[in-house]
């Protein structure tokens, strides 16, 4: 395996904590930037309950600011896309000559933003196909799956090899994508139907979407739109990669059929009144579809609905928070 | 005006009560079949608060069963479409030779059912473009608009003239439609986008749909699908009527723009956990679109979402009702 690498996990929510913990388990020096879980991890460490083996980092390097982390070899950025604008400030203190940045987030257009800030040469994208939720503070539940697909912002094979080396000694199965853009669109074939429909159909888990014939049909139709948009963009950009729609759609359904009643992170965000990653997962693909002149009626309708649902849920959440804060002896929910 | 007619209003909710009250006001002998409001109307009469003039029927003929109503000249059936299967039993006692039936409900395929039960000769459809809500028991709020468009199941002009005579002396503005099918599809150009999007976008009023550019765009796109399906069915059935899409869509937006924050009845049903008229308003148009081979991706997605939202809301409503019923000293909500 690779020599011991210094890794900063920026945004150690469920996904960042899980993959960071796997890097630490394999011997890398991992420094986590926590927010919600900072106190809990300082007190009791970081626990991962995982189908691939439980893990307890008793005294991980837990930071509350990026300055405490300092320069590293790899930054793994696992912020929510809704916090993207804060990324430069959080990452800057971790950079030195040669630091690479792995964008472990959902959505389209993220690496372009990172490339603008830090130069494409050092930017990678990681796509996690996995079911991970937060438990109590300091605890992460890894329920199913877990492979990472990694691409490079310039699709450089040597850089991809470096990314593979980072993960070589870990329990995480990693593959590389010859086209980061293609991989992003392929991942959207899951996120757009399942993150979207679980929310818009009334707050249901993924099993309801795959077992309800009408919702399953809509999930497939959404995937077909995504494949069409993705291939149109790949063609326009002169890439040779294409998404094999039938194969990808078949694989997405097979994995989701086996998933049971999973609640995607955006559904949990929605139910708990937090901002949704609407623009990264829906808005940006839709904008690209419009720019390409490709119709995507279902994606368009879903995007309009989710933007409204997001605004409504937050207005409600805020109102509830305010009521709770106003109630005697009760604090506002965090 | 017409000689005094005996009229039975079957299903005197907000819409039935309002239009029945206008018939009574004009001198017809109107007998209302109430459910929720029976006791309140017996005690205090029926009050209409209306932009076209308030009205108080102090001692209307208020029945709890159709047998108390007996045979009449006109049955105005204003049941919810979800109660359609109960219509024959409720209407039967009100029929004699020559009784006509005016189906004052939302959705497609209703008159076909009534024609099957009672013969098409006596079946009419009435389309109310109006904003009416229930207030406290015994009170109906008529907020805006109110014209009726009436069609006949066999599009017979003489029968249409009889329907016009019924309403001639009332405050209700009535026009007749040469094609009942065309009029039904035209009405769906409002109900499908606005009943649908107000629910699916998170429980918002109509003003949010028309003022949010993305939702407004989706409303228009849904209308365009409805126009296309409607005209395809009219063409297949050999009717000469066509829906003038631009004119209808322009009119629908103009009326809705002036409507303010209106909550359609299905939105109120949804928020209160009652069954939604999904099949009559969405499912049946979609089935016809499939039969015609016409694509309607947005209608299809909306229908799948609304069926799921309907099931979820009722499950939640039932669970809440059960919890309330289980709570000491608290009855289940009615």
Q: What is the pLDDT of residues B33-62, one digit of tens each?
A: 999 999 999 999 999 999 999 999 999 999
Is the pLDDT at A182 greater than 70? The verdict is: yes
Tracing tokens 């203190």 back to the chain, one arrives at A93
pLDDT digits (tens, 9 = 90+) for A63-87: 999 999 999 999 999 999 999 999 9
pLDDT at B222: 98
Interface test with A, best of B217, B219, B295, B297 (most A CBs within 10 A): B297
A211 has a chain B CB within 8 A of its CB: no
The pLDDT, as a whole number, for residue A148 is 97
B268 CB within 8 Å of a chain A CB: no
Please name which of A64, A20, A24, A18 lies closest in space to residue A40, comparing C-alpha atoms: A64
| A268 at B interface, C-beta within 8 A | no
Interface touch B303/A214, C-beta < 8 Å = yes
Question: Nearest residue of A to residue B204 by CA position?
Answer: A312
Q: How would you write A228-294 as a 3-class SS string?
A: HHHHHHHHHCCCCCCCCHHHHHHHHHHHHHCCCCCCCHHHHHHHCCCCCCHHHHHHHHHHHHHHHCC
Element (H, E) at A218: helix A213-236
Per-residue pLDDT at B85 exceeds 50: yes
Of A215, A217, A301, the CB nearest to B218: A301
Rounded distance between C-alpha atoms, residue B222 and residue B217, angstroms? 9
Task: Take residue B317 and report the two structure tokens written for it.
Answer: 């409503």
Query: pLDDT tens digits, residue range B183-204?
Result: 999 999 999 999 999 999 999 9
Here the contacts of A247-255 (C-beta below 8 Å, separation 24 or greater) are: A248/A186, A248/A189, A248/A223, A249/A189, A249/A220, A249/A223, A249/A224, A252/A189, A252/A190, A252/A193, A252/A223, A253/A210, A253/A216, A253/A219, A253/A220, A255/A129, A255/A145, A255/A190
Per-residue pLDDT, averaged over B158-164, amounts to 98
Angle at B187 between CA B184 and CA B191, to 5 degrees: 120
The mean per-residue pLDDT over the stretch B216-222 comes to: 98
pLDDT at B236 > cutoff 70: yes
The answer to whether B10 faces chain A, any CB pair under 8 Å, is no
Mean pLDDT of A17-43: 97
pLDDT in tens, A187-197: 999 999 999 99
Could you tell me if B303 lies within 8 Å of chain A, comparing CB atoms?
yes
Q: State the pLDDT at residue B324.
A: 47
A12-16, A133-137, A182-186, B318-322: which has the minimum mean pLDDT? B318-322
Contact B161, B280 (CB under 8 A): no
Catalytic site includes residue A187: yes
DSSP H/E element including A32: strand A29-33
CA distance A212 to B308: 9
pTM: 0.91
Measured distance CA(B170)–CA(B310) in Å, rounded: 37
Give me chain A's average pLDDT, please: 93
Whether pLDDT at B294 is above 90: yes
Residue B313 binned pLDDT confidence (cut-offs 50, 70, 90) = confident
Q: What single string gives the DSSP state of each residue in B44-94?
A: H-EEEEETT--EEESS-EEESSHHHH---SEEEE---GGGGGGHHHHHGGG
Give percent above pLDDT 70 in chain A: 94
What's residue B333's pLDDT? 28
pLDDT at B1: 56
State phi, psi for B77 to the nearest 5 degrees. Answer: -95, 110
Q: How far apart are CA B40 and CA A127, in angstroms?
A: 62
Q: Which amino acids of B are annotated catalytic?
A: 187
Which residue out of A22, A122, A187, A216 is catalytically annotated?
A: A187
User: Residue A325: its pLDDT value, please?
Assistant: 42
DSSP code at position A125: E
A309 vs B202, B298, B311: nearest CB? B202
Rounded to a whole number of angstroms, the distance from the CA of B187 to the nearest CA of chain A is: 21
Span of A215-224, A319-328, B157-166, B206-215 with lowest mean pLDDT: A319-328
Nearest Cα residue to B232 out of B302, B293, B179, B278: B293
Task: Provide the H-helix boundaries in B84-212.
Answer: 87-91, 110-118, 157-167, 180-190, 196-200, 206-211
Spell out which residues of chain B touch residue A308, defining contact as CB-CB under 8 Å: 201-202, 204, 208, 212, 214-215
- What pLDDT is attached to residue A1? 56
């Amino acid at each position: 395996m690779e020599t011991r690498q210094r890794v900063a996990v920026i945004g150690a929510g469920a996904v960042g904590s899980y993959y960071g913990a796997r890097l630490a388990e394999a011997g890398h020096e991992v420094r986590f930037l926590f927010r919600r879980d900072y106190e809990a991890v300082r007190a009791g460490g970081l626990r991962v309950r995982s189908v691939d083996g439980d893990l307890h980092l008793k005294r991980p390097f837990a930071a509350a600011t990026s300055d405490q982390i300092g320069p590293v070899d790899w930054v793994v950025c696992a912020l929510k896309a809704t916090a993207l604008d804060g990324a430069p400030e959080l990452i800057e203190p971790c950079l030195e000559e040669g630091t690479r940045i792995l964008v472990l987030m959902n959505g389209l257009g993220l690496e372009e933003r990172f490339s603008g800030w830090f130069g494409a040469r050092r930017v990678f994208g990681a796509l996690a196909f996995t079911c991970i939720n937060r438990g109590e503070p300091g605890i992460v539940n890894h329920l199913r799956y877990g492979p990472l697909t990694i691409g490079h912002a310039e699709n450089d094979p040597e850089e991809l090899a470096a990314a593979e080396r980072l993960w070589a000694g870990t329990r995480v199965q990693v593959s590389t994508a010859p086209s980061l853009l293609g991989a992003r669109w392929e991942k959207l074939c899951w996120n757009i139907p399942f993150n979207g429909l679980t929310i818009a159909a009334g707050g249901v888990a993924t099993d309801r979407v795959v077992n309800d014939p009408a919702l399953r049909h809509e999930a497939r139709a959404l995937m077909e739109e995504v494949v069409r948009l993705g291939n149109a963009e790949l063609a326009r950009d002169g890439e040779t990669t294409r998404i094999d729609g039938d194969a990808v759609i078949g694989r997405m359904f097979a994995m989701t059929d086996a998933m049971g009643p999973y609640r995607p992170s955006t559904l949990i965000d929605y139910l708990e009144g937090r901002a949704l990653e609407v623009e990264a997962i829906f808005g940006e693909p839709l904008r690209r579809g419009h720019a390409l002149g490709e119709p995507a009626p279902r994606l368009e309708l879903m995007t309009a609905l989710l933007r409204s649902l997001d605004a409504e849920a937050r207005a409600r959440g805020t109102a509830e928070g305010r009521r709770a804060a106003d109630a005697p002896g009760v604090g506002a929910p965090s």
